[in-house]
Amino acid sequence: MDSQTNAGDCLGWAATDPSGVLSPYKFSRRPLGSDDVSIKITHCGVCYADVVWSRNMHGDSKYPVVPGHEIAGIVKEVGSNVQRFKVGDPVGVGTYVNSCRDCEYCNVGFEVQCEKQNVATFNGIDVDGTVTKGGYSSFIVVHERYCFKIPHNYPLASAAPLLCAGITVYTPMMRHNMNQPGKSLGVIGLGGLGHMAVKFGKAFGLNVTVLSTSISKKEEALKLLSADKFVVSSEQEQMRGLSKSLDFIVDTASGDHPFDPYLSLLKTAGVYALVGFPSEVKFSPASLNLGMRTIAGSMTGGTKMIQEMIDFCAAEKIYPQIEVIPIQYVNEALERLVKRDAKYRFVIDIENTLK
């Protein structure tokens, strides 16, 4: 080990019970290892996963829970074996901080599908047996493999949401060739993930249609995000007008919803990528079979694709729509997230407000 000390206490905000209410909390990070990077966190995005594990919605929360897996910051120390980073580099950390590094998926840079299970950035079990604690904190120690270079000209506040919201939609879009200019994309849901799917779709040269249950999203979809079309999915006539017109659909909705009406919008051999987590997925076999359609699931992405996405966003000047908040506002932000009142990603200013 390069360091036997914890370089001082780490200050964070944690939930201590299923109420999910966060409050200041001090703890120690593991010592810096030879392959580790210690990162001063400047910003952390607020994800619905933070609500899930703060409130023990899956029954597996390990309190105290320090949430946050959309992390951006500056390298403050590196281990003796670290090659890719130096002190002062802007970096990001996403939804996981370790994996076996020796399975079929790790070997090709797709660690998110590690056969032995990757280690979640928070509420997971780290290499030293301790519970991982996330980005609602002053610094973090991570193996360099799970850190990502952020170009110096890309704002750290904007970079944070890419590490979960961005990569969650970028991965299936690339995997299923949703980057073919001139083709048509439908995006279901216009939250943190959905708005990034729209941005990527436009950058890829696709004709983008936003499908939403809320007419209130129309002006933002068309004017702010430059979508080509907006359809209220509960309006049957509007939906019929889209029948068999889309090459791809990215479904970001986590609330329960019918699938057959959306599948009917796909052309023959169209692809439907599900990245949300409704309680069930139910559709008629005819919705797939008669149109030779594909429905696919996806989650974040491997280290190789995460770096590719960050570089793509920097090159194409793609920035998430964010609302920067102080850490003291985080409980209200989580409530607003539950009520779908975020436009479109809260980002905590850790550097200036976590004292």
CB contact at 8 A, 78 and 67: no
What's this model's pTM, rounded to 2 decimal places? 0.94
* Cα–Cα distance list, 255 to 108, 213, 226, 262, 281 (Å): 33, 11, 25, 15, 11
d(CA 148, CA 165): 15
Report how far apart the first and last C-alpha atoms of the chain are (Å, whole number).
29
Q: Say how many residues make up the chain.
A: 355
Distance CA 131, CA 127 (A): 9
Which segments of the chain are extended strands (E)? 10-15, 22-27, 36-45, 71-78, 90-93, 96-98, 119-120, 139-143, 147-149, 184-188, 207-212, 229-232, 246-251, 266-274, 294-297, 322-325, 345-349
Q: What is the DSSP string of 119-155?
A: EESSSSB-TTSPBP--SSBSEEEEEGGGEEE--TTS-
Separation of CA 170 from chain center:
10
Q: Name which CATH class applies to 166-297.
A: alpha beta
User: What six digits make up the tokens of 257?
Assistant: 């919803």
Query: Bridge partners of 181?
Result: none
The answer to whether 126 touches 119, Cβ cutoff 8 Å, is: yes
Contact call for residues 61 and 31 (beta carbons, < 8 A): no
pLDDT in tens, the chain (355 residues): 444 444 458 999 999 999 999 999 999 999 999 999 999 999 999 999 999 999 999 999 999 999 999 999 999 999 999 999 999 999 999 999 999 999 999 999 999 999 998 999 999 998 788 999 999 999 999 999 999 999 999 999 999 999 999 999 999 999 999 999 999 999 999 999 999 999 999 999 999 999 999 898 999 999 999 999 999 999 999 999 999 999 999 999 988 999 999 999 999 999 999 999 999 999 999 999 999 999 999 999 999 999 999 999 999 999 999 999 999 999 999 999 999 888 899 999 999 999 9
User: What pLDDT, on the 0 to 100 scale, is given for residue 126?
Assistant: 87
Spatial CA neighbour of 301 closest among 25, 107, 112: 112
Residue spans in the chain of domains classed CATH 3.40.50.720: 166-297
d(CA 292, CA 221): 30
Q: Say what the pLDDT of residue 2 is.
A: 46
Q: Which CATH number fits domain 10-164+301-349: 3.90.180.10, 3.40.190.10, 3.40.50.300, 3.30.450.20?
A: 3.90.180.10
Numbered ranges of CATH 3.90.180.10 in the chain? 10-164+301-349
User: Look-up: residue for tokens 């169209």?
Assistant: 270
- For 112, left (φ over 0), alpha (ψ -120 to 50), or beta? alpha
User: Whose structure tokens read 């002053």?
Assistant: 138
